[in-house]
Structure 1
Amino acid sequence: MMVRVGDLVGRTSHGCDLLFRVIEIKEENGQKTAILYGEDVRLIADAPIHDLVLVDEGEYSKRAKREREKVEKTFRLFKQDYQLIKQRNEYYSTRGYSNDIHYFQLPGKVLHIDGDPLYLRKCLELYEKMNVPVQGVYCKETEMHQKVGQLIDEYRPDILVITGHDAYTKAKGKVTDLKAYRHSRYFVETVREARKKIPSLDQLIIFAGACQSHFEALIHAGANFASSPSRINIHALDPVYVVAKISYTPFMDRVQVWDIVKNTITGEKGLGGIETRGILRTGMPFQLYEEKSQG
């Protein structure tokens, strides 16, 4: 079997429980090792070539269908929440529907910095589907802390997402040791740099982390929401659902953590945070401009 960069594979030692993309193949002392990115979860791993098996189209199609069903279920739940918020805002804006007033809404603007360009594209597609204003930037996890300040100045976001790939390796240290994580220390440093720019937890809302990330360190660094409390894998799209909920929650309301994580794909074992104020602002009047033909 020939494994190449870009192939979809499973690890036989783990019962092919997850699908991975081969990102790089290294050779040392005659032994080949593949660097792997999770296809649907934000996990980075390495494995000897002999431990990998290629995933055929039939198996991939079955797994992809299950993933689509999970994503669609979560999207339906988000739409339900959004409709409830919209109806409540309409009720208050029209004083109980007693006034025929046209209003407009300004949801929170998101800056999404991602260490995986393919995941970033998937996330941007979902943001668009949810009508969340977003700017997406691909950046290696190891370089995020160097660039986040400039990106905040450039895009002036209400919400910042710092994510990519991560992994905890027990052999490298205790669960409390940042050195035992692939990228958590870089996520932590990026959060700290962002907080140097905007210290307030309400003026800039931050989601940070990926699979198995050091949740406590990220929260203490200044993140409002982070992964992963139980050091489990999180879904590639989970950060989008977290910040979309905040983006469409009125700024006078506070979002309870359970209300945020209950409808995500991963749930409370993979995501957590602190009580946070919403971002959405409602204004009026909404003026429709129509171009008049000149003759």
Structure 2
Amino acid sequence: MIKIGDIVARKSYECDILFRVTGIKEQEGEKEAILHGEDVRLIADAPFSDLVIIDEREKRKRKQKEKELIEQSYKLLRQDYRLLREKSEYEATGGYEAKVDFFQIPGRVLHLDGDPLYLRKCLHLYERIGVPVYGVHCNEKEMPEKVGALLEQVRPDILVITGHDSYSKTKGKIQDLNAYRHSKYFVQTVREARKKIPHLDQLVIFAGACQSHFESLIRAGANFASSPSRVNIHALDPVYIVSRISFTPFMERVHVWDVLRNTLTGEKGLGGVETKGVLRTGMPFRQVTDASYIDSS
């Protein structure tokens, strides 16, 4: 018998995605499970008859494949970071070979996430990459009313608004915002954030989840959003996007493809507009207490 916490897949979709069972309800005499994607930011409902419980061997096999994809993307991101750092060092020293101690202040991130498990995964990756972050688990419906106070408290350079979402053909056409589970709340949250900080280069915003209404999020004021082709996005994709912004000098523009090429989803699931970086370089370097915020050479 399927129970909350089980890892399952849908037979009707050839078991393509692993889900966590987060709730159980009864619909027209048949039990249905509420499903949250294990690695993609998708929420769905499915009858018990369509579900199969994934055994430990299959879970380990898929987790290993997932780990390899994440490591490949991480290595590409670190490679980009090294190139950006070398360029910053050259500019900071005026091209001289003399040793100069300088410091860098990457952009600070405020990450709102509707899924506490995904948030923990994201925070772990932020820490691994070296991005300063303040993470908040917040129900998608509550984000619009909470974002203003959080912006005042954290004063971030970059805001991430994400969680779970999905598009349902039975609820409306693809351009109908009401046909999406959480897109309207993401849109409202972006609008509330832009009331506080209107300029796209003073606060960089990523918004959306799986199958989200991309066009509405961009119109509301997001720099980057999901999902142009209404496909699923990986749980960690927001981290890769904002990390690139965080480590790009504020005098440089980040072109959309430069950001998307190291993500796990790519341009079908993610898009945006060209945006300035937010990293600042200074000198001389002096040891400070907040070592997580300063990356010394």
Q: Is the pair's TM-score, using the shorter chain for normalization, greater than 0.5?
A: yes
Q: CA deviation at 1:139?
A: 0.4
Query: What corresponds to 1:264 in structure 2?
Result: 263
Contact (CA 8 Å) 1:168, 1:213: kept in 2 or not? yes
* Deviation per residue, 1:212-265 (Å, 9 max, x gap): 000000000000000000000000000000000000000000000000001100
* 1:81 pairs with 2:80: yes
Query: What corresponds to 1:255 in structure 2?
Result: 254
Contact (CA 8 Å) 1:71, 1:265: kept in 2 or not? yes
Question: Structure 2: how far apart are the matches of 1:192 and 1:201?
Answer: 12
Question: Structure 1: how far apart are the matches of 2:181 and 2:94?
Answer: 53
Contact (CA 8 Å) 1:41, 1:236: kept in 2 or not? yes
Question: Structure 1: how far apart are the matches of 2:285 and 2:273?
Answer: 34
Q: How does 1:167-246 map to 2 (within 5 A)?
A: 167-246=166-245
Question: Structure 2: how far apart are the matches of 1:204 and 1:211?
Answer: 23
Question: Structure 2: how far apart are the matches of 1:218 and 1:42?
Answer: 16
Question: Structure 2: how far apart are the matches of 1:288 and 1:177?
Answer: 53
Q: How does 1:278-289 map to 2 (within 5 A)?
A: 278-288=277-287
Instruction: Tell me the secondary structure at the aligned position of residue 119 of structure 1.
Output: helix
- TM-score of the pair, normalised by structure 2: 0.96
Q: CA deviation at 1:98?
A: 3.8
Structure 2 residue runs without a partner (length 5+): 290-297
Q: How does 1:88-127 map to 2 (within 5 A)?
A: 88-127=87-126
Q: How does 1:9-24 map to 2 (within 5 A)?
A: 9-24=8-23
Contact (CA 8 Å) 1:90, 1:97: kept in 2 or not? no
Question: Structure 1: how far apart are the matches of 2:34 and 2:250?
Answer: 43
* Deviation per residue, 1:146-185 (Å, 9 max, x gap): 1000111111100000000000111111110001101000
Q: CA deviation at 1:30?
A: 2.4
Question: Structure 2: how far apart are the matches of 1:214 and 1:34?
Answer: 25
Structure 1 residue runs without a partner (length 5+): 291-295
Amino acid of the residue matched to residue 137 of structure 2? Y
Q: CA deviation at 1:22?
A: 0.3
Instruction: Tell me the secondary structure at the aligned position of residue 108 of structure 1.
Output: coil
1:142–1:289 distance in 2 versus 1, CA, 3 Å: closer
Instruction: Tell me the secondary structure at the aligned position of residue 168 of structure 1.
Output: coil
- TM-score of the pair, normalised by structure 1: 0.96
Contact (CA 8 Å) 1:188, 1:217: kept in 2 or not? yes
Q: CA deviation at 1:64?
A: 0.4
Question: Structure 1: how far apart are the matches of 2:137 and 2:33?
Answer: 22
Instruction: Tell me the secondary structure at the aligned position of residue 44 of structure 2.
Output: strand
Contact (CA 8 Å) 1:148, 1:190: kept in 2 or not? yes
Question: Structure 2: how far apart are the matches of 1:22 and 1:51?
Answer: 13
Query: What corresponds to 2:155 in structure 1?
Result: 156
Query: What corresponds to 1:57 in structure 2?
Result: 56
Instruction: Tell me the secondary structure at the aligned position of residue 9 of structure 1.
Output: strand
1:51–1:200 distance in 2 versus 1, CA, 3 Å: same
Q: Which moved more, 1:27-36 or 1:68-77?
A: 27-36
Instruction: Tell me the secondary structure at the aligned position of residue 60 of structure 2.
Output: helix
Instruction: Tell me the secondary structure at the aligned position of residue 192 of structure 2.
Output: helix
Amino acid of the residue matched to residue 246 of structure 2? S
Instruction: Tell me the secondary structure at the aligned position of residue 121 of structure 1.
Output: helix
Query: What corresponds to 2:272 in structure 1?
Result: 273
Root-mean-square deviation (Å): 1.1
Query: What corresponds to 1:293 in structure 2?
Result: none
Contact (CA 8 Å) 1:112, 1:135: kept in 2 or not? yes
Question: Structure 2: how far apart are the matches of 1:287 and 1:12?
Answer: 58
Q: CA deviation at 1:289?
A: 7.4
1:152–1:4 distance in 2 versus 1, CA, 3 Å: same
